[in-house]
Amino acid sequence: MTSARDPGSLLPLTPAMFHVLLALADEERHGYAVIKEVEARTGGKVRLGAGTLYGLVKRFLADGLIEESRRRPAASEDDERRRYYRLTPFGRRVLVADVGRLEETVAIARSKRFLKRIQPA
Amino acid sequence: MSPRPSRIPHRMFRALMSLFPFEFRAEFEPEMEAVFDEQRREAGTRRLRLRLWARTLLDTLRTAPREHLDILQQDAMFAMRVLRRSPGFAFTAIVTLALGIGANTAVFSLVRAVLLRPLPYHEPERLVSVESGYRSPDSLHPVRGILTGDAVLNFRANATTVRNLAVEHIYSPELSSPIDILAPDGAERLRGGLVTPNFFETLGVQAAVGRLFGSRDNDTDPLAVISDGYWRRKFGGDPHVVGRTVDLLFVGRRERTPRRFTVVGVLPPRFRFTYPRETEVWVMLPWSAVRPIGALEYRVIARLAPDVTANQSQAELTAISRRQKYHGEHDVTLVTPLPERASAEARPGVLLLATVAAVVLLIACVNVVLLLLARVAERGPEVAVRTALGAGWFRIGRQLLVETGILVGTGGAAGVTLAFALQPALRALVPAAVTRGDELSVDIPVLAFAGALCVLLALSCGLAPLWHVSRRWVHDRLRRGGWQVSASRGVASWRRGIVALQVAVVLVLLVGATLLLRSFWQLRHVGLGYDGTGLLTMEINTLGRSVPAPDWARVHRQFTRELLERVRALPGVDRASLTTSVPMRGVDFTYVAGRVGGPGIAANMRSVDAGFFALMRIPVLAGRGFTEQDTSESPPVAVVSRAYGKLLFGDQSPLGQRLDLRETQPTIVGVVEDVRYVHVRQRARPAFYLPRDQDPGPISCLIVRTRTDVAATAAAIRVVVHDLAPTQPVERITTLGGIVDELTAGDRFYAVTTGAFGGIALLLAVAGLIGVVRRGVAERTRELALRNALGADARTLVHRTVAQELRPVLAGTLLGLAGAFWLSRLLQRFLFEVSPLDPWAYAFASLLLVAVAFIGCYIPARRITRIDPATALRAE
């Protein structure tokens, strides 16, 4: 049912939403790992609080963007309180759509003369 | 496996978590705790840990409210869906609440206007009214009176507990001095205020236009301050009114030469001092005119000295007045806070109304609780399933609370709309005697009151189902297999108890309403002793003594004769007559007369002309009335009322006897019926009548019996009077019916409103009863179907059910009768010639209630005949 939905209806994502989804794009993670990943990827610029993160998790679960994973690491590395999340195919489509939207936005900005100097990194 | 955190941070984190909604915590708390533990472990130094705490705290404060809002939104959407599924329930609950909240909001707008809104003066609570009082040994409250000049001057010179004592000259008890204003198109009588120059300073009011006179003004200067109303009416709100002049004549003074006054200012629109009619023109009363000895004619206001209470001041002023010469043993000085004094008359009635409205609200509230409880029971299976699926009772309870909140909110909005819509009707109905009642409006504080009421209702109505939906209850339901099981004994008897109590309360209200309505009916149908229909009365204070004494009587006689001749000639006028006393206006003279050589007996004395008895249709029981031949030259005669004749002469005929009036001893030529002349409420008092020509007095009332349009006749009479005496105003032209309406407006108001509230309460109670019986029948469907299948007669089942459900009604009726018996004495002061224990009122109210309750039981019980045993049993 979720796959029939239009990813565009959830756009644009807020920066926090974007980073959380992005953190789950390559592998499944538990909450703390998501926070760490976001912090590392943004060079410490985005620091998510637990309340913010789980508020988003709640909404993503309800919207079918992420789901809980049953796979767990070895007991020695695990904390029973943790849950692991991964992106659903629909979540992936939403993320891709938002990246496309951002690219478009940047392209528009680039087409302006005064921004000519800015080159892709 | 990671080590467990130490306890204190753990507890602190839990405390922070409690800011999130229950559901959120249930879902994510362990995970969030795990995250926090790792973050803490990572933050090695104390400083980093502190920073982590700060970040977590901020994050929680930012995100928790949003989670709450989310849940609330979900609950609201769910509640709306549920309510849409049962529109009958929603409609009943909303209408019930709207009636309860609407009635209370409307009444509160009156309570606020009359009792709560501060008077339009500076620090009104520090202002006091000073009066004399007479504390008779057998009465609880002292009788209020007016201060003598002697007392006023003594207080002014010696009192330390009050400051800035100001005086208003009173023309007659409770009446300001009338002042005539002369204009080219005729004279008009105004309500005037003759006050000492410091009057407005004491009240602490400022002028809206110009200035007010004050203690720095020379108190003999002819300066006038006018009311906002008069400014708009006579000067069209002219901003340049200051400096304009008005010619004023003072009624009751010996000279009748007008004096020219200069308008110095206009009072603000909100300013009011006299009720119900506001004073229109204020002029200065010089302190030198406050005479130490003379008639009782001063009303005093003052401001309490700092840190002094009204009681302390009263003690001081009473002590001062004791030193006076004419001080009786029972005389007291009364110092009353002005706000209390202003609302004293209206307070009991307004409080009565507020109580009645509160009772209606209570009944509405009970009804809604009953409805909600029935619904919770109906929704048993749904709730049980949801509990089984893991929804905590807390969540279900909160949902019910949100549902109640939506009902109360909608009902409240409808109620406030109702109060808004009722506002003009209420304003029109409020009698003039309810001080400031006409200022009622549904404003912000009234809306805030309605809002507070809604919150209170939502909580109190929502708590009952909340209590019901405990986990234990749900389990109980599940175990017993759902909703078809009859309500447990406990719940059923609770419901019956509530019904009985509700019936009792409604009956008390109905008895009260019946008593008031009966009293009002009685008041409107009381025998006056004369025929008031088609009577037009007006006051003409005939020609003051501007003419020297010997001539005055002649001039006066000439004027009245011409006046009567011309008025009688007007089209539509059947009869016209002059008298010294105005019927139903509280003006009647008392005189002590007696039989010659016998003791004096007080009676009302009225000077009337020849046509008076025929005009009023007062039956002449013996002898004759007055004729045109009873003049100043003919032998003096008198007519006595039946009661006075009996008082004076017992069983002897008064005819031919002489009445001892000291100066004269007129012969009694007739006996007439006793009449209610002073007030509808006041029983006929003994009276005697003298011919006008033999006893001409200055205050006159012209009474006309007319067949045609009252307004046209009144206008024609004004023209006649203006022609004969241009400086003579004609006052208070009204039909007798109009005066009686005015006098009974308070009774009408309380009877109508209490009656309406009683009706609403009855309807609500019956609606509640129908719901309860319907619920009872629904719960017993299986049992009834079984009986039906076994061959029981459906009609017998109906009768049995009705009888069973009527039992709490009858119990409630008995309880209500006892309650009414006990409480109705509080109505005593509102009742006219009806005992608070009037058996007819009790019987009528009980019968009405039981009859309506019977219908309320019968309608839902009839459903029993429609139960199909096969369907009902299969459903099990």
Rg (CA), chain A: 16
ipTM of the complex: 0.87
Across the interface, whether the CB atoms of A81 and B30 are under 8 A apart is answered yes
Across the interface, whether the CB atoms of A32 and B28 are under 8 A apart is answered no
Whether B65 contacts chain A with CB within 8 A: no
**pLDDT confidence of residue B43:** 84
Across the interface, whether the CB atoms of B62 and A58 are under 8 A apart is answered no
**Per-residue tokens: B192:** 């005037």
Give the residue among B727, B734, B735 at the shortest CA–CA distance from B188. Answer: B727
Whether B651 contacts chain A with CB within 8 A: no
Rg (CA), chain B: 37
**pLDDT confidence of residue B471:** 47
Question: Exposed, middle or buried by CB within 10 Å (0-12, 13-18, 19+), for B804?
Answer: middle
In which residue ranges of chain B is pLDDT below 70? Answer: 1-6, 136-140, 171-180, 182-186, 251-257, 293-296, 325-329, 380-381, 383-384, 386-393, 465-491, 541-552, 586-587, 696-699, 869, 872-876
DSSP H or E segment with residue B673: none
Across the interface, whether the CB atoms of A31 and B58 are under 8 A apart is answered no
**pLDDT confidence of residue B872:** 65
pTM metric for this prediction = 0.77
In chain B, which residues have their Cβ closer than 8 Å to the Cβ of A52?
59, 62-63
Whether A57 contacts chain B with CB within 8 A: yes
Across the interface, whether the CB atoms of A31 and B67 are under 8 A apart is answered no
Closest CA–CA distance from residue A81 to any residue of chain B (Å): 5
In chain A, which residues have their Cβ closer than 8 Å to the Cβ of B71?
none
pLDDT at A85 over 80: yes
How many residues are given for chain A?
A: 121
What does the pLDDT look like over B706-731, one tens digit per residue?
888 888 888 898 888 888 877 777 87
Whether A79 contacts chain B with CB within 8 A: yes
Structural contact between residues B574 and B705, judged by C-beta atoms closer than 8 angstroms: yes
What does the pLDDT look like over B523-557, one tens digit per residue?
888 888 888 888 998 877 654 544 455 666 777 77
Which residues pair with residue B573 across a beta bridge? Answer: B706
- Rounded Cα–Cα distance for residues A118 and B765 (Å): 78
Q: What is the chain A residue with the closest CA to B3?
A: A79
DSSP H or E segment with residue B600: none
**pLDDT confidence of residue B759:** 92
Whether B24 contacts chain A with CB within 8 A: yes
Q: Which of A31, A55, A79 sits opposite B2 (nearest CB)?
A: A79
The domains found in chain A, sorted by start residue, are 2-115 (1.10.10.10)
Whether B28 contacts chain A with CB within 8 A: yes
Q: What is the chain A residue with the closest CA to B32?
A: A50
Structural contact between residues B403 and B81, judged by C-beta atoms closer than 8 angstroms: no
Whether B74 contacts chain A with CB within 8 A: no
**Per-residue tokens: B363:** 């009944």
**pLDDT band, residue A81 (cuts 50/70/90):** confident
β B298-304/B127-134 pair status: antiparallel
